[in-house]
Amino acid sequence: MDKLVIEGGRPLRGTIPISGSKNTALMLMAGAVLADGVTVLENIPHLRDITTFSHVLRIAGASVRFDPETHVMRIDATRIDFPEAPYELVKQMRASFYMLGALLGRCGQARVSLPGGCAWGPRPVNLHLEGLRAFGAEIELDQGYVVARAPGGRLRGGRFRLEPPSVGATVNLLLGAVTARGSSRIENAALEPDVVVFGRALQQMGARIEGLGTRTIEVEGVDALQPVTFRNCPDRIELGTFMIAAAIAGSPGDTIYLTGAEPSHLGEAFLEAFRQTGAAFTFDGDTVAVTVPERLQAVSIETAPYPGFPTDLQAQWTVLLSQAEGAGFVRDTVYPDRFKHVPELMRMGLQARVEGNTVFLEGPQRLQGAHVMSTDLRGSVSLVLAGLVAEGETHVLRVYHLDRGYENLEGKLSAAGIAIRRESYDEFATPTPESAEEN
């Protein structure tokens, strides 16, 4: 297995490029299943989740070619003849569940493994199932699989209210509705930019959708969608992560540039909280310039669906709070159990208290390098951020979590002045007296 080793205390400086959005790319790939022909997707990040989802598409019969240099993906979905997403792949990545809506929309039937829980707790899919049922799907469970069928080969459309406004369920319902026989309405739909960009791609393919970016999305079903060339948007969570990295690990007074970004996708809550820490930032086209303050001020946050503070940035914000002056908290109302990174940060000396869905801490704190374990994607990157400011070496184990969602993290950070390297290690090696001495 691989780990990242970070020597703390080096200032982050210069320019960091932002990759294409992982979560939007997965939606766009699912959308390509609806089009009989070759869809070309640009600005697709080279990530493990993208590779996993490419396999999911191939199982269904698509041919997927990806060039990691140009970041262009070609999906030939002329032949989709095996409408199934197997457990082995869905368990690696929950977004594979998008195949339910995509295959129902394209083939009128689907057999997709249920995802089960995730690293930080249960993540239900009840809204995906109830919503597709409301649009006419007949759904049964069979040995851990969802077996869905559209009577007569096409969903009829319908009306469904999401509570809460789930990103994934909005996507699955859009995938099902765009080629339904009739019209559909998704109430309390997700407003996340990923969903809006995905909806625009569907429109470009010929889908008739109104209300993207509002709480009510109306869809008029069409007979078929056409393949298109579409450019994916930048990754907003990667941008937020590097803005936090700049604020905590940059030299006071210095400016760090994040290029190829779309800052409006971060939402007002994150930008406002970031501003209140004292870190200055400006936008110029697709570049975000972060100027590092002398001192960071603690700002408490509470996650919420877009345009609220993203749950995917709360672990990183915890590390920011540890470097800021004053007391603060991080509350996650979207995923109340998403705190697996906190005990790992405590191994680095973090003093914090988790109560229910909230972590309380007071800064600034001195962190020490340690061996810490990645537990999930965003939690792992918080350990890397802590490593940037810790004294000594931090070893972040099980880097495969990071490889799911951060393209070339160590390459980008080393180019920005950080001493970081990837090493392989034996997860199950038993320490001997000799190895203990070496360490």
**What residues act catalytically?**
118
**Is 94 marked as binding a ligand?**
yes
> Using CB under 6 A, which of the segments 3-11, 75-83, 118-126, 150-158 binds ligand EPU?
118-126
For residue 81, count other CB atoms closer than 10 A to its CB: 8
Binding of ligand EPU by 377 (CB under 6 A): yes
**Is 408 marked as binding a ligand?**
no
**Is 22 marked as binding a ligand?**
yes
Binding of ligand EPU by 374 (CB under 6 A): no
> Using CB under 6 A, which of the segments 38-46, 163-171, 250-258, 431-439 binds ligand EPU?
163-171
Instruction: Give me the numbers of helices (H) and strands (E) for the chain, helices first please.
Output: 15, 24
Binding of ligand EPU by 398 (CB under 6 A): no
- The type of residue at 99 is M
Question: Cα(217)–Cα(97) distance, rounded to whole angstroms?
Answer: 21
Binding of ligand EPU by 356 (CB under 6 A): no
**Is 23 marked as binding a ligand?**
yes
Using the rule CB under 6 A, which residue among 168, 221, 250, 328 binds ligand EPU?
168
- The type of residue at 386 is A
Residues in 186-245 that interact with ligand EPU by CB under 6 A: 190
**Distance in Å, CB of 132 to ligand EPU, minimum:** 11
Binding of ligand EPU by 405 (CB under 6 A): yes
Using the rule CB under 6 A, which residue among 57, 169, 359, 385 binds ligand EPU?
169
Binding of ligand EPU by 332 (CB under 6 A): no
**Distance in Å, CB of 125 to ligand EPU, minimum:** 5
Pairing, β 145-149 against β 138-142 = antiparallel
**Is 334 marked as binding a ligand?**
yes
Quick note: the x/- pattern for ligand EPU over 85-114, rule CB under 6 A, is: ---------xx-------------------
Binding of ligand EPU by 330 (CB under 6 A): no
Burial class (CB in 10 A: 0-12, 13-18, 19+), 427: exposed
Binding of ligand EPU by 127 (CB under 6 A): yes
Distances (CA, A) of 438 to 428, 432, 434: 17, 10, 6
Distances (CA, A) of 347 to 150, 158, 363: 52, 51, 17
Question: Cα(157)–Cα(197) distance, rounded to whole angstroms?
Answer: 22
**Distance in Å, CB of 168 to ligand EPU, minimum:** 3
- CA distance between the termini of the chain: 19
363 or 405: CB nearest ligand EPU:
405
Question: Cα(394)–Cα(371) distance, rounded to whole angstroms?
Answer: 6
Total site size for ligand EPU, rule CB under 6 A? 23
Question: Cα(74)–Cα(318) distance, rounded to whole angstroms?
Answer: 39
Cβ 63 vs Cβ 76: under 8 Å: yes
Binding of ligand EPU by 128 (CB under 6 A): yes
Q: What is the per-residue DSSP string for 12-59?
A: B-SEEE--B-HHHHHHHHHHHTTBSSEEEEES----HHHHHHHHHHHH
Residues within the interface to ligand EPU (CB under 6 A):
23, 26, 94-95, 123-128, 164, 166-169, 190, 311-312, 334-335, 377-378, 405
Binding site: which residues? Answer: 22-23, 94, 312, 334
